[in-house]
Amino acid sequence: MEYGVCGNFKETYEKDMEIYQTKFHKFCLYGFLVLLYIFPLFGGKYLLYVANLMAIGVIGAIGLNILTGFAGQISLGHGAFIGIGAYACAYFTSNLGMSFWIAMPLAGVVTAVIGMIFGIPSLRLKGLYLAIATLAAQFIIEYIIVHWEAVTNGVLGKMVDSPHIGSFAFNTDKSYFYLSVTIAIILTIFAKNIIRTKTGRAFVAIRDNYIAAEIIGVDIFRYKLYAFAISSFYAGIAGSLWAHYLTLITPEHFTIGVSIEYLAMIIIGGLGSILGSIFGAVFMIALPEFLRFISGVVSQSYPAIINIFAALREGVFGLVIILFLIYEPKGMAHRWNLIKAYWKLWPFSY
Amino acid sequence: MEQFIQLIITGIVLGSIYALVALGFVLIYKSTSVINFAQGEFLMLGAYICLQMVVGFHIPFWIAFFLTLIVCAIIGLLIERLFLRPMIGEPIISIIMLTIGLSSVIRSIIAIFWGTQTKVFPQIFSEKPIHITKHIGISEVYIYSIVFAAIFLGIFTLFFKYNRSGIAMRATADDQQAAMSMGISIKKVFALAWCIAAVVAAVGGILIGNINGINVSLSFYGLKVFPVVILGGLDSIGGAIIGGLIIGILENLCGGYLDPIIPGIKEVAPFIVLVFILMVKPYGLFGTEEIEKV
């Protein structure tokens, strides 16, 4: 095992920007990836189902975190953008007969363009006013999804086939897991690298102080639109994957509740942190499943709990968010770093 | 023409209810710079508490009404003390999220105690419409909602202009540090703001409850009110009232004339208008423009 140094001895920018700070770090990461890929061999159907949702959630959460966490533009319409991606991909594959592998990136691009259109008000709007403009986007898109029946099939929902390569179809939880996790990993690496480039630094500059950013020569409007585009692209991909995993999508899947859930993911995980988006997504998707498990156990002794389970789950969901915000305002990623720092100097952490 | 006038009048009464709900929003924003996503749930909570008193405990309506206001004031204080105070100094998005979390907690509590079925108040306001002209009439409950909106508008305008606490609230909204150094207790101001907002929401909730019955979807009013507050400007009380009326009328006109052509447009029309208004006037009609420095 290699020990990290006690101080910060980086002498070049390249050194500071490195993804793998130590060899041990690199080893852990690759180890984790290997475990991830052999997980389906051991995990049951239910665990794989949850893992698929998590992988899709991670993609969506990273997208939102780029917009809200890095560029500082609060969005309450992420769920609707995921919906656009889902319906666009479904339309391309079912109605136009495209292959999923072309339709998915195309759906991402369509969502990115629509995201940019709804990002235009951000030129003049800030903070709360922008948050509410994106809320309007959520309702307008939801309305279009319900009423544009030629494309979306309205409230009845739209059937989608599972993606396939040649004759091999990704129609089981296990095979789909490889698909969603691979795409999630690619997009995570992509996001991690975006924020290390000029674009990423421009996002952070706009978030921290947009006037100062403008003075040092960042074209605010252009980079805000980039942020909306990248974020919506991620939402589009997440939506495509979700649509082809569920194989039946209805407007119910893309309500304001979904937007809120994604916002909760990145706040609980940690704003402005890719790792935080992953933690947040995993946590927020595991939470309802955990509550279901708990209520299953409790209902054996108190059967009445089944009736109020839905309400109880919502309450616990809200309470967890509140407690996190009060006691862990910087998110799980921050706590993770503290834990790492503690072990780095263990047992001499004075 | 008659249909037009009828639509305008129902628009005004609907708008006056929006205005009542929007008032609570604006009050909280004006003094604490917090936007309260749980306003719709406050509304619902007020309605359910009043219902419980009238139906469950058989208290006469008007006494129950004032008791509800007291209970809601206490709930507002508690919420501020328990949840909002630890958040002072946190970024906007965290506070938004906190109020969203709060809204799901309140919804869940209501669902556990009262279930999800629609409940109705016993008849309190007379069903018989009051005729303005021969063909155009409004039912009594609508008159009450207009009256309440007018009363609250009057009270709060005077309160913010002349009352010491009102001026302290305005000062706090303007600059918290400066207000503190002038000896204003920020904690008291915040508590007062949440208290008032809960009370105003409860009045709105009871009135809406008397019109449509009470169920969980009542909380949707909290979201519907966003176009109203944005239109009027987040920190303008007069703006909340005028915005409420405009959106109410707009919604009714869209419902009356456009719905047959584009089904369901009534629900989203306020939001579409909202986007365009924001493009032209980013701080709403009467909102204060923020001047920022590096």
Hey, what domains does chain A have and what are their CATH numbers? 46-344 (1.10.3470)
Give the CA dihedral B69, B73, B79, B81, nearest 10 degrees.
Answer: -170
Percent of chain A with pLDDT over 90: 37
Enumerate the residues of chain A whose CB falls inside 8 A of the CB of residue B96: 74, 128, 131
Contact A311 B111 (CB under 8 A): yes
Size of interface A-B (CB pairs under 8 A): 137
Lowest-confidence region among A134-138, B139-143, B167-171: B139-143
pLDDT band at residue A7 using 50, 70 and 90 as cut-offs: low
Contact B264 A143 (CB under 8 A): yes
Cα A89 to Cα A183: distance, rounded to the nearest angstrom: 16
Please check whether residue B274 touches A, CB under 8 A: yes
pTM above 0.80, yes or no: yes
pLDDT band at residue B72 using 50, 70 and 90 as cut-offs: very high
Residue A263 and residue A80 in contact, taking contact as beta carbons nearer than 8 Å: no
Candidates A68, A120, A136; nearest CB to B93: A68
Enumerate the residues of chain B whose CB falls inside 8 A of the CB of residue A315: 104-105, 107-109, 112
Mean pLDDT of the B129-133 span: 67
Q: Provide CB contacts within 8 A for B175, sequence distance 6+.
A: none
Please check whether residue B254 touches A, CB under 8 A: no
Residue B259 pLDDT exceeds 80: no
Hey, what domains does chain B have and what are their CATH numbers? 2-119+135-280 (1.10.3470)
Contact A140 B112 (CB under 8 A): no
| ipTM (interface pTM) | 0.83
Contact A315 B87 (CB under 8 A): no
Contact B274 A310 (CB under 8 A): no
Chain B, residues 17-56, CB within 8 A of chain A, namely: 35
* CA angle (A233 as vertex; A228, A236 as ends), nearest 5: 125
Cross-strand partners of A164 = A169
Contact A135 B223 (CB under 8 A): yes
| Runs of H (alpha helix) within chain B | 2-32, 39-51, 61-79, 92-114, 140-162, 164-174, 176-181, 186-212, 220-232, 237-253, 265-280
pLDDT band at residue B136 using 50, 70 and 90 as cut-offs: low
Cα A246 to Cα B135: distance, rounded to the nearest angstrom: 54
Per-residue pLDDT tens for B149-200?
788 778 888 888 898 888 888 888 777 788 889 888 888 888 888 888 888 8
Contact A315 B272 (CB under 8 A): no
Residue B276 pLDDT exceeds 60: yes
Residue A1 pLDDT exceeds 50: no
pLDDT band at residue A349 using 50, 70 and 90 as cut-offs: low
- Top residue of B29, B78, B79, B93 to mutate, by most chain A CBs within 10 Å, is B93
- For A8, counting Cβ atoms within 10 Å of its Cβ (0-12 exposed, 13-18 middle, 19+ buried), the class is exposed
Enumerate the residues of chain B whose CB falls inside 8 A of the CB of residue A260: 100
Amino acid at B93: I
pLDDT band at residue B137 using 50, 70 and 90 as cut-offs: low
Cross-strand partners of B119 = B214
Q: Which of B110, B72, B35 is nearest to B195 (CA)?
A: B72
* CA angle (A26 as vertex; A237, A22 as ends), nearest 5: 130
What's the start-to-end Cα distance of chain B, in Å? 55
Per-residue pLDDT tens for B34-70?
888 888 888 888 888 988 888 888 888 888 888 999 9
pLDDT of residue B226: 83
Mean pLDDT of the A302-326 span: 81
Task: List the structure tokens of B217.
Answer: 């979807």
Average pLDDT over chain A reads 87
Mean pLDDT of the A95-99 span: 86
Q: What is the SS3 assignment for chain A?
A: CCCCCCCCCCCCHHHHHCCCCCHHHHHHHHHHHHHHHHHHHHCCHHHHHHHHHHHHHHHHHHHHHHHHHHCCCCCCCHHHHHHHHHHHHHHHHHHCCCCHHHHHHHHHHHHHHHHHHHHHHHHCCCHHHHHHHHHHHHHHHHHHHHHCHHHHCHHHCEECCCCEECCEECCCHHHHHHHHHHHHHHHHHHHHHHCCCHHHHHHHHHHHCHHHHHHCCCCHHHHHHHHHHHHHHHHHHHHHHHHHHHCEECHHHHCHHHHHHHHHHHHHHCCCCHHHHHHHHHHHHHHHHHHHHHHHHHHCCCHHHHCCHHHHHHHHHHHHHHHHHHHCCCCHHHHHHHHHHHHHCCCCCC
Enumerate the residues of chain A whose CB falls inside 8 A of the CB of residue B274: 132-133, 136
User: At B5, is the secondary structure helix, strand, or coil?
Assistant: helix
Enumerate the residues of chain A whose CB falls inside 8 A of the CB of residue B102: 318, 322
Contact A124 B104 (CB under 8 A): no
Candidates A128, A312, A321; nearest CB to B108: A312
Cis peptide before B263 (omega within 30 of 0): no
- Higher-pLDDT residue of A53 and B236 is A53
Enumerate the residues of chain B whose CB falls inside 8 A of the CB of residue A310: 111
- For A171, counting Cβ atoms within 10 Å of its Cβ (0-12 exposed, 13-18 middle, 19+ buried), the class is middle
**Helix axes A78-90 and A256-269, enclosed angle (nearest 10):** 120
The DSSP 8-state label assigned to residue B83 in this structure reads I
Residue A346 pLDDT exceeds 80: no
- Top residue of B108, B117, B286, B290 to mutate, by most chain A CBs within 10 Å, is B108
Candidates A128, A139, A325; nearest CB to B268: A139
Lowest-confidence region among A23-27, B120-124, B125-129, B165-169: B125-129
Enumerate the residues of chain B whose CB falls inside 8 A of the CB of residue A125: 278, 282
Per-residue pLDDT tens for A257-289?
899 899 989 988 988 889 999 999 999 999 888
Mean pLDDT of the A194-201 span: 91
Enumerate the residues of chain B whose CB falls inside 8 A of the CB of residue A74: 92-93, 96
Enumerate the residues of chain A whose CB falls inside 8 A of the CB of residue B90: 325, 329
User: At B45, is the secondary structure helix, strand, or coil?
Assistant: helix
Per-residue pLDDT tens for B81-112?
988 888 877 777 888 889 889 988 998 888 88
- Higher-pLDDT residue of A306 and B120 is B120
Mean pLDDT of the A95-114 span: 91
Cα A285 to Cα A277: distance, rounded to the nearest angstrom: 12
Residue B132 pLDDT exceeds 70: no
Residue B251 and residue B7 in contact, taking contact as beta carbons nearer than 8 Å: no
Q: Output the furthest CA–CA distance in chain B (Å, rounded).
A: 62
